[in-house]
Chains A and B, each alone.
Chain A
Amino acid sequence: MKYVHEFRDPQRAQGILRQIEAIAAQFPPGSPGSSASDRPLRIMEICGGHTHAIFKYGLADLLPDTVELIHGPGCPVCIMPKGRLDDAITLAQNPQVILTTFGDVLRVPGSSQSLLQAKAQGADIRVVYSPLDALQIAIAHPDREVVFFAIGFETTAPSTALTVLQAAAQGVSNFSLFCNHVLVVPALEALLNQPDLQLDGFIGPGHVSMVIGARPYRVIAERYGKPVVVSGFEPVDILQSLWMVLDQLVTGRCTVENQYSRLVAEDGNAVALGAIAQVFTVREQFEWRGLGEIPASGLRIHPDYAQFDAEVKFSLPHPHVDDHRACACGDILRGVKKPWECKVFGTACTPDSPLGACMVSSEGACAAYYNYGQLDRRRPATSSASLAPSHSSRVRR
């Protein structure tokens, strides 16, 4: 595949790795990332797509010991709080409603069940590949209310916005959105405001940046003093971006750079941003699984389009459901803990019965460790908080 194979070339990757090793060796003694320090350099990849690729290609295993990747909160499926899921299930249980959503939302646990379980009990829940498909279902079923359960960062918000605009233009009155779109920069700021944060730089999300551009991350570099490099998703992209972050750190620079310039413009995509601005407004705050309430971090439907807002159209209970007490997702997202240091990792919390956000989708840090886990962690556990369970002891359904 053109523009894919080139970015998966092991030779190129090896070349970049040698440069990463060379840079890592230059950190002043005693500073994070230096061989004498007790703490490696910690670079967070924000996006779940990056997390997935890092595990799929085993990139973390290639890095020197002095450089560590921390897996961030950029998986929209993982960060969906249980209460919002419960609301979606409430909607789906209304016999008048056809609830439509993306495939990987189905398994996300609410407080008592997932959409997949609600579907099995008779709720009319349908998987779509685009919100426009949901609009088509509404046109085909004028006697039903079709709700699109919209999730995702700024990546998926434009297509949702354009669907609302199209519904308005066509006068489709039986279509509405349950809007759960979230914003990446406020979430990063919330992380950066944590007192015990141990992060040195960021690999920025490529697909989100395709929409919002590279400019919005300047606050991260300017106010919080952390370098950001917007990255593509292939192994060579990620390694090159990591090298760019390290280069900034070692040369004492702190700015936003764009490794993914083949797709990402400095100011993003004006048409997409226009659609978002027209259809949505920013919520005062939005709850994130694992991180709690974050101000100005979510989108709601603009009052001009209230007739397409499922939260206006249907009365929803909006329950607040606490994260599981034993779950260390918040610490893992801040880079304070590793997935296998969580007491319930691989025991009470597994991909088939996730307790915490990071175990929900294959892009979550814990699920990625569990599914693709580094082989050296696959010895039988010596204590409950140390290692993944041995493979053969899993309960399989």
Chain B
Amino acid sequence: MPSVTRDTFQRSHPRRPRLESTVTLAHGSGGRAMHDLIDSIFVARFQQAPAPLEDQARIPLGALNTLGDRLAFTTDSYVVDPLFFPGSNIGELAVNGTVNDLCVSGAIPLYLTCSVILEEGLSTDLLAQIVDHMAIAAVQARVQIVTGDTKVVPRGSVDKIFINTAGVGVMRTGINPCATALQPGDRILINGAIGNHGAAILVARGELALDTDIQSDCQPLNSLVDAIVSVCPDVRAMRDATRGGLATVLNEFATASQVSIQLQEEAIPVDEPVAGLCELLGLDPLYLANEGKIVVVVPAHRADETLATMRSHPAGQESCCIGQVGDRFPGLVSLQTAFGTERVVDVLVGDQLPRIC
């Protein structure tokens, strides 16, 4: 029998990636198991054309220069429980959340990273489903996932899967919304009802034994932002109202610009099931998280046109004006109630906790 040498040895056919049914520590070891996992789950879904894998994405600057004059760069980690909830899932969230953090600066989001930390024992089917949702969300948000990383940690070290996505985008020349730019007289706009994501997660955790049809509002906002900046290039500030909700974003704006913000309680849109859940638990929808809501501050003379543009966009059909900027109490957000009274809307100390009675 002739001995096998490097010259004579050839595989009879190329090796196919093997994928086991659960993630093991071997999948994070840098060896063949890891490459198989990356190839069959991530590369297969994210790579748009076959290319050798490098340790970094290489992005040509020429094309970026035609879009604007600055880079926007952001990162966010996603640790949601449960992984799938009414209206969305962690994969979609990991793309849209980072796209939204980019686009509220007025930037055009272009490239994302995808780093996952996996718990030993996670089903590879479940992982594939999550990555599928990421790939679809990236296409819908018109961004590419171009590089990433996979780590596996022992059972119990993380809860199933943690995802980090960083993103870069190009900021349009001359458009520079920022939290410090609010001026008395400006109008506060929002693209629809608040609190749906936070409420959907609360219900999905199953601790309340409640059955509702509340869905997360998870969606990419970059196309809506395109429309907003096209009619209102001098938009003062934009921010997506995620953790801490609408109240938190407005407090950040009021503090940064040293202006007061007065909201009209009756103008703030809250869907009936969300309002009902909040009544039941003693929570305030102003502080519930959103994943597809943008707070937009515009000069008063631009408000009507901006609002009309937002309403004609699928992501902003229920847009409305909810308040305005003033100068009475610098740094303070207040709410005018239906009774004609006014109260402070402060920042929460910690999480909202359900009241007991």
Contacts and interface: CB of A to CB of B under 8 A. Distances in A.
Contacts of A107: 349-350, 353
Most buried by A among B342, B346, B349: B349
B357 A156 contact: yes
A207 to B, nearest CB: 5
A357 B255 CA distance: 29
A153 interface: yes
Given A62-B341, A375-B342, A396 B347 contact: yes
Nearest to A377: B344
A129 B353 contact: no
A173 interface: no
A391 B342 contact: no
B344 A10 contact: no
A235 interface: yes
Given A8-B338, A59-B339, A392-B255, A373 B347 contact: no
Interface in A52-78: 52, 55-59, 61-62, 76-77
B356 A76 contact: yes
A293 interface: no
Contacts of A76: 356-357
Contacts of A362: 355
B356 A156 contact: yes
A103 B344 contact: no
A77 B276 CA distance: 24
A120 to B, nearest CB: 12
* Chain A: number of interface residues, binned into ranges: 35 or more
Nearest to B351: A103
B96 interface: no
B330 interface: yes
Interface in A362-397: 362-363, 370-375, 378, 390-392, 396-397
Given A1-B279, A372-B344, A392-B255, A152 B357 contact: yes
B270 to A, nearest CB: 11
A351 interface: yes
B258 interface: yes
Contact of A58 (B279, B332, B343, B347): B343
Contacts of B334: 375
B357 A372 contact: no
A103 B356 CA distance: 8
Contacts of B339: 10, 13, 57-59, 62, 235
Contacts of B341: 57-59, 61-62
A109 interface: no
A151 interface: yes
A151 B337 contact: no
B354 A56 contact: no
B54 interface: no
A133 B355 contact: no
B344 A152 contact: no
Contacts of B329: 375, 378, 391
Contacts of A1: 272, 275-276, 279
A52 to B, nearest CB: 8
Contacts of A62: 339-341
Interface in A272-298: none
B326 to A, nearest CB: 11
A391 B337 contact: no
Nearest to A154: B357
A49 interface: yes
Nearest to B210: A129
Contact of B354 (A55, A104, A397): A104
B208 A372 contact: no
Interface string A64-103: 0000000000001100000000000000000000000011
A58 B208 CA distance: 30
B207 interface: yes
Interface string A340-363: 000000000001100000000111
A207 B357 CA distance: 7
Interface string A130-151: 0001000000000000000001
Contacts of B349: 107, 351-352, 397
Most buried by A among B338, B340, B355, B356: B356
Contacts of A374: 343
A118 interface: no
Given A55-B343, A375-B329, A392-B330, A106 B353 contact: yes
A155 interface: yes
B272 A152 contact: no
Given A4-B279, A58-B341, A129-B207, A392 B357 contact: no
Contacts of B328: 375
B345 to A, nearest CB: 8
B331 interface: yes
B357 A57 contact: no
Contacts of B207: 127-129, 133
A152 B356 contact: yes
Contact of B208 (A129, A156, A363, A370): A129
A266 to B, nearest CB: 21
A153 B357 contact: yes
Given A107-B349, A372-B343, A58 B357 contact: no
Contacts of A156: 356-357
Contacts of B330: 392
A391 B251 CA distance: 10
Most buried by A among B272, B344, B355, B357: B357
A8 B208 CA distance: 26
A155 B344 contact: no
Nearest to A151: B356
Interface in B230-276: 255, 258, 272, 275-276
Contacts of A133: 207
Contacts of A8: 338
A375 B261 CA distance: 13
Contacts of B331: 390-392
Nearest to A155: B357
Nearest to B333: A391
Contacts of B258: 392
Interface in A1-54: 1, 4, 8, 10, 13, 49, 52
A392 B255 CA distance: 7
Given A58-B339, A372-B343, 7 more contacts: A1-B272, A1-B279, A10-B339, A76-B357, A153-B357, A235-B339, A397-B349
11 contacts: A8-B338, A13-B339, A61-B341, A76-B357, A102-B354, A103-B355, A207-B357, A351-B349, A372-B344, A375-B332, A392-B330
Interface pairs A-B: 6 shortest CB-CB: A58-B341, A103-B353, A392-B331, A102-B356, A155-B357, A372-B343
